[in-house]
Structure 1
Amino acid sequence: MNGYNSKTIFKKVFIIKRFSAKQIAAQAGVGLATVDRVLNNRGNVHAQTVDKVHKAIEELEGQYQVNQIKGRTFYFDLLMDTPARFSEQVKSAILAVIPEMASYKIRFRFRFFENISTEEMAKEILNTDRKQCQGLIIKASNLPEIRECIDKLSKKMPVVTVVTDLPESKRVAYIGLDNYSAGQTAAFLLGNWLPTSQAQVLSVTSSEAFHGEEQRQAGFLDGIAAYPHLSVIRISGGQGLANSTEKHVISACSYYKDQIRGVYSIGGGNRAILNGLRYIGVKSPIFIGHDLDAENTFLLKKRYIDAVIDHKLADDARAAIQFLLNSYRKTPLISAYQSSINVITPFSLPPRATAAKR
């Protein structure tokens, strides 16, 4: 039976009956007689031609599945545990790409939290099912309670993680940077930009619970090991929020204020980091941040920071929506996606960002 069970054979026969031999021949670029020989196993057909006919049937089935859901309304939720400056960026990216999905009516609901507890986030995830929702895009901490809720929800709808992954959960895809490589990139920049004298560099995360920040930190520490004159001061717990981040920097760095020469800001709050360093007397460190939001655009323009590791949120938003739709198309349009790492300096700001005001 060539490895097919009866259910598989029935499915293949059903799909073939959905399309005429003329349609299959046109899609494959072969003659009707060839299609007839392939479908009826009459032999005398080159293996490559047989594969071409089978591939044509798969392509027709994919197009059929897409057409079946055209015009359908989908309600998707975006749930994020992140500072408002970043959640608003993601929201803008989502709204910008929705018109591209003109074949479908897509409605998004946005649920943003700056400092939500694990218990509250777990409830928010499970409540998604009560909101007439067909899919969830989420940024959340990588904790067992959160993964358990994702697994429960995934039985009823597709879930996609963005920015930071939940790799042991049953989400259908992670959309975002290779965060380990992003950390290595930051280490490369600092290692080459700083003098070869002994110095301290800060590595600042918002929380140790986010997998993406954990991966950035790991890549940075591995990368900075190639520069033995640099030692790392690790700071965490500010949640990327201004007051708490500034306090953490002041508390952790006062003793090392004369040795600090560089900063890698993994979790954001860059203005707060700079304020904390200025408070203890550290001036003009080489500073690498993440994400080209309004705050970082201003800091780059003023040369308060030196580079931002960025990626195109619109591309991420588009991919996230397509992965959710894949679950309803049955035949995916994309099967994998990873954001490109872009290093933005004061001299490579995009035109719109260059025009940004304080």
Structure 2
Amino acid sequence: MAKKLTLESLAKRAGVGIATVDRVLNERGGVSPDTTRKVLKAARELGIKRLLPEPYKHPWQIEVFLSSNDSFFFKQLAHHFADIASALGYQRVTLHRTFIPESQPEKLAQRIIDSSKIRDGLMVFAHDYPFIHDALRHCQQTGTPVITLATDLPAAARLCHVGVDQCQAGRTAGLLMSKSVHQPGDIIMVSGRFDYRAHRQRISGFRDVVSQRAPQSQLREVLAGMDQRHTIRALLDDLLAESSHVVGIYNTGVGNSEIKEVLLRHQLLGKCVWITHELYSVTRRLLEQDAVSFTLDQNARQHARLAIDILLRHLESGFQPVEYQDGNVALKIITAENLD
């Protein structure tokens, strides 16, 4: 009881919460230098009878949860997070990277809850499942700020979202397709996991714009590739065998190598407008070969830079970002002429 009263008195005098006092006195880290100095000053003024820590700043403990799938975007994102954290220095931030399969959302939810007890802040790529929302709500209740990455989770208990507007990305692809197709014909849409919000938003945006701006084109049914390369190959092969005239193809996810094989087999490679996502070795080569017309890149480095910057500003100064505005990542449109 006496210890609790002491913590309450110290917290009141310093103008902070009891949890913050506990962090400072027991050197758990994650408290800004100014707040640390306030707590230690109050402790000295109250004559707390214990050895007080030195008023130096512990590095912020931040964990980023990413998908363990083999997509280039997540590999780049992991690399950029490590690179930016390293540039900030180990005395300011310690970054922990955790990779969990997208097929195990319950495991991810539990890891988020566990990490909220030992980290100062979290950055999370996750899909829209009830137990993910529960985990983020737990973080909010325990005072651990969370930034969601890449795929939006509307109404989630988070500090903010960092990423491109996926619906806008699909609409941009639709506009590029509409401006590039000059004759009637079929336009094929290949989707990644259709149970994932980002892919649904891309397809929805694309469909809306093409329907409005290219009414002479026939949008075929969406090929639900489910991020399975053999499924993408088989579905596209079957559709091209029955389609008389294909003028465009839009792919929201993985499988560009397989799409190239099928288009080549049907003598369509380079003869139809092909729009896809993410700039990596395969799409770069396809752009150079004039097989892909446009690639929409999410800019992984800006994701990492913005997320770390927002989280550190919040932890160090209480900065409250404007949702969607401060975390908005600019979409990059890549052609064969602006490859870097």
TM-score of the superposition, structure 1-length normalised?
0.70
1:338 paired to 2:328: yes
* 1:109-120 alignment runs, 5 A limit: 109-113=96-100, 115-120=102-107
SS class of match (1:107): strand
Structure 2 unaligned segments of length 5 or more: list them.
1-11, 17-31, 39-54
- 1:253 CA displacement: 4.6
Number of positions where the alignment pairs a residue of Structure 1 with one of Structure 2: 290
1:267 paired to 2:253: yes
For residues 260-283 of structure 1, give each alpha carbon's deviation from its aligned partner in whole angstroms, at most 9, with x where no partner exists: 221222123222222244445543
CA contact (8 A) 1:268 1:289 kept: no
* 1:192-341 alignment runs, 5 A limit: 192-196=179-183, 198-225=184-211, 226-235=213-222, 237-256=224-243, 258-279=244-265, 282-284=268-270, 285-332=272-319, 335=322, 336-341=326-331
- 1:224 CA displacement: 0.7
TM-score of the superposition, structure 2-length normalised?
0.74
The root-mean-square deviation of aligned C-alpha atoms, in Å, is 3.1
Q: 1:333 to 1:154 in 2, by over 3 A?
A: closer
- 1:334 CA displacement: 5.3
For residues 296-344 of structure 1, give each alpha carbon's deviation from its aligned partner in whole angstroms, at most 9, with x where no partner exists: 2222222221111124322221111123224422432854231112211
SS class of match (1:155): helix
CA distance in 2, matches of 1:107, 1:274: 42
CA contact (8 A) 1:84 1:112 kept: no
Q: Percent identity?
A: 20
CA distance in 2, matches of 1:313, 1:234: 30
1:80 to 66, 69, 77: 66
- 1:138 CA displacement: 1.9
CA contact (8 A) 1:65 1:329 kept: no
CA contact (8 A) 2:33 2:57 kept: no
Q: 1:259 to 1:176 in 2, by over 3 A?
A: same
Structure 1 unaligned segments of length 5 or more: list them.
1-10, 16-61, 351-358
CA contact (8 A) 1:308 1:344 kept: yes
